Structure 1
Amino acid sequence: MTTKEVLLKQLSACLDQPNWFVPLSAAIEGLSAKEASFKSGTANSVWQIITHLTFWNDRYLTRFKELPLSQIHIANDETFSTNESFTEEDWQSAIKALQNVLSEWIKALEECSEEKLLLSAYKEPFEPWSSVISNLTIHNAYHIGQIVEIRKMYGLWDPKNGVH
């Protein structure tokens, strides 16, 4: 299996292909805007996690495509922000944005060469794109797991979706 094939498999597992963990599609299935905005103390809501994942996946995809970034620097805490409107329409838009960027990642990887994955993602230090994308998928899986745990905490998880 090539590096590209491994990364494609990881991204698909994050988006909608059940594997060793629940994919995003199952983690958010049936969740309402109100439920997605539930918070406990200083923990992030599901909606905030979705916003965070969309930001980082989009930012790295933009860099991977060698397009200009809209912002030079943003504090990680700021990537969890959501608007104050928690409508179903806004929630569906937030979900769609993350699903779209993950789908775009899959498409970009399918179209790229193996050589591109060996190039550095940064000017300094050297870190190949293959490593950066692998870490991005680990980051996605971590937060998808948080979504499942948050749903369990609020009694909003059905174990038939993949986790007991």
Structure 2
Amino acid sequence: MAARQRGRYLVNALGVTTLDAVSSLFHGGNANVSWERALDGLSGEQAHLVPAGLPHSVAGIVAHVAYWQTYLLAVFAGDDPPAVEHAAQGWPDQARQVQPDSDPATSDPVNSDPVETDWEALKLIFFSGLDTLAAHARDEAFLELLDRKGRPRIVPLTSFAGHGLYHLGQVVTVRQLIGAWPPPGGGDTW
């Protein structure tokens, strides 16, 4: 079954375009558990647990990806957000990082931003960003526009999709380490 051309993009025999394939990566793609499944059934307390020896909780990882989603969407909207000087600046402080043997009730918030303190709000912002980026990845006219570095927008979109998949794997690993895997709806267990 040969692929055929639709504009500048390939379409396979099933009618799936390269744009569809890139778009699906924002939610996890076909070879991975989805972000929705990876976060399913995780309480706010579990989301903020930091496994021993690791630097981030699931909430910290999701906040990081959401931070860069917001940044990329701002760039696409024509804004010029400042670049971070250090990688740590792309990891928003978590309101409540809970060590596995600590008492969450006595953990002090590092900051009071509701996005960082409310797991459900963070997930809503995160999934909204995923949906927007996935829609952009299917929009041929949008992709033809150049980004501020002079590249077609499919370049940063594809790069960011890879960034998200990298961190999706981290979320699964953190959930395994805190004993919260598989999620209620099931997930890969190998």
TM-score, normalising length: structure 2: 0.70
Secondary structure class of the residue paired with 1:156: coil
Specify the alignment match of 1:5 in structure 2: 20
How far, CA to CA, are the matches of 1:151 and 1:23 in structure 2?
14
For 2:54 and 2:24, the matched residues in 1 are separated by 33
Aligned length: 154
1:60 correspondence with 2:72: yes
1:83 corresponds to 2:95: yes
Q: Secondary structure at the match of 2:130?
A: helix
Of residues 130, 137, 156 in structure 2, which corresponds to 1:132? Answer: 156
Deviation digits for residues 57-113 of structure 1 (CA, Å, limit 9, x no counterpart): 1211221232x24x41323312222224499x7010111110011112223344x3x
User: CA RMSD for the aligned pairs?
Assistant: 2.6
- Flag the structure with larger Rg: 2
The runs of 5 or more residues in structure 1 that have no matched partner are none
Q: Secondary structure in 2 aligned to 1:61?
A: helix
CA contact (8 A) 1:121 1:128 kept: yes
What secondary structure sits across from 1:20 in the alignment?
coil
* Residues 53/46 of structure 1: CA separation in 2 closer, same or farther (3 Å cut): same
Paired residues of 2:64 and 2:90 also in contact (CA < 8 A): yes
1:117 maps to: 143
- Gap change, CA 1:32 and 1:60, over 3 Å in 2: same
Q: 1:107 is matched with which residue: 122, 135, 141? A: 135
Contact 1:3 1:130 in 2 (8 A): no
After the TM superposition, which of the residue ranges 153-162 and 99-108 deviates more from structure 2?
A: 153-162
Report how far residue 150 of structure 1 moved: 0.7
- Among candidates 75, 89, 95, match of residue 123 of structure 2: 95
Normalised to the residue count of structure 1, the TM-score between the two structures is 0.79
CA contact (8 A) 2:66 2:129 kept: yes
1:28 aligns with 2:39: yes
Q: SS at 2:53's partner residue?
A: coil
Residue 157 of structure 1 corresponds to 181
Task: Using CA pairs under 8 Å that are at least 6 residues apart, name the structure with larger relative contact order, 1 or 2.
Answer: 1
Q: What percentage of aligned pairs have identical amino acids? A: 23
